[in-house]
Structure 1
Amino acid sequence: MQLSTERLRLTRLQAEDWPIFYQVHTDENAMAFISEVRQDAEIRQRFNDRLAPWQVTSFHMLCLTIRLAATDEAVGFIGANAEWAPFRQAEVGYSLLSAHFGKGYGSEALSALTDFLFNDCEFHKLKAEVVEGNWASRRVLEKNGFRLEGTFRDNYLLRGRWVNDWMFGCLKSDRK
């Protein structure tokens, strides 16, 4: 499976992607709104879990490596957790190496993934949870038709502190 945009290629996570996966998950800036930097064994387990083949009805995450089309350099990851039956919904998420922040790669990758999930996989709704205050991630979602649907108070324990989560949703009809 591969999705392409003008500047990016999104490919299924492969065993050889371990170095970039580890790099993203140990990048303090990349993880600032996601979690504390985990122990190596936990990062390896997350990686191994995401290597499993994916289909719409899978109970595990679709994980795609975001690569620059011109150089094949890996810059981050994007993916989705599906809730196919009976809701036909998926939750999307993404993380980039901080060296690649602010270049539009997240928005471009999310656009490709969103089109794939709606058009090829026939999801009805996509969702995303973002820690309140993560304005860059909020802009990525809003550029792709996601709407703020609410705020969950003290929803997530991040680095020892309870934080609010913004809940975003995008219906297939929002993308037309």
Structure 2
Amino acid sequence: MSNPLTSQHLTLTKLAPPDWELIRSIYTNPVLMQHIGSPMSEEAIRSNFAKELAPWTLDSTHWLTWIIRETDTGNDVGLISICTRDRDVLTAEVGFIILDTHKGKGYATEALAFVLDHAAHAYGFRKFTAVCSEEHAASRKVLEKAGMKLDKIVPEHTEIAGTMVNDCFYSLEK
């Protein structure tokens, strides 16, 4: 699990203790969180971080998170995670956050397509789901480029920064 995964331009490594500052900076950043939820307290981030450092199996209830880095430079790009949602149908939810400095480079699409294939082959997942706010056009485009299909839009489903937003539910069967 700790072996890095390498795609064309990216290296993905399982979340590790040295990644704390990156994770803290992501989840406290209002710009990065504007389509996900309110920035988190350091206490909440530490709690989630500790859970995600634990060993992961298909029966885990926490996210398996990889840090995305450029292979050539080693620069942090963001993170991508999966979480088992249905063990009977082997379904995983996927989520990702890309740092502002790396948006628009195709890295989210590359990382997502790679993780979907890896998770299908390594863990046997047959279905993947994702949720994003309707107004987050960039994430929707990434999900669609990776082959995910929009299943439904649920009005006023999630509260972000005091406003109820419509959520888009996507899926892909492998």
TM-score (norm 1): 0.93
Residue 126 of structure 1 is matched in structure 2 by: 128
Which whole-Å deviations, capped at 9, do the CAs of 1:13-56 have from their partners, x for residues lacking one? 00000111111112222111011111111122121121111122
Instruction: Give structure 1 stretches of 5+ with no counterpart.
Output: none
Using the TM superposition, name which of 83-92 and 60-69 deviates more. Answer: 83-92
Residue 169 of structure 2 is matched in structure 1 by: 167
Residue 150 of structure 1 is matched in structure 2 by: 152
Alignment map for 1:39-78 (pairs within 5 Å): 39-78=41-80
The partner residue of 1:15 within 14, 17, 27 is 17
Moved over 3 A (4+): none
Q: CA contact under 8 A between 1:23 and 1:97: conserved in structure 2? A: no
Q: CA contact under 8 A between 1:107 and 1:143: conserved in structure 2? A: yes
Residue 88 of structure 1 is matched in structure 2 by: 90
Q: CA contact under 8 A between 1:132 and 1:166: conserved in structure 2? A: yes
Task: Give the root-mean-square deviation of aligned CA atoms.
Answer: 1.1
Aligned amino acid, residue 5 of structure 1: S
SS in 1 for 2:25: helix
SS in 2 for 1:95: strand
Aligned amino acid, residue 95 of structure 1: I
Deviation, 1:120, is 1.8
Instruction: Give structure 2 stretches of 5+ with no counterpart.
Output: none
Q: Percent identity?
A: 34
Provide the C-alpha distance between the structure 1 equivalents of 2:85 and 2:38, rounded to a whole number of angstroms.
27
Which whole-Å deviations, capped at 9, do the CAs of 1:129-170 have from their partners, x for residues lacking one? 011110100011111100000011211111111111000000
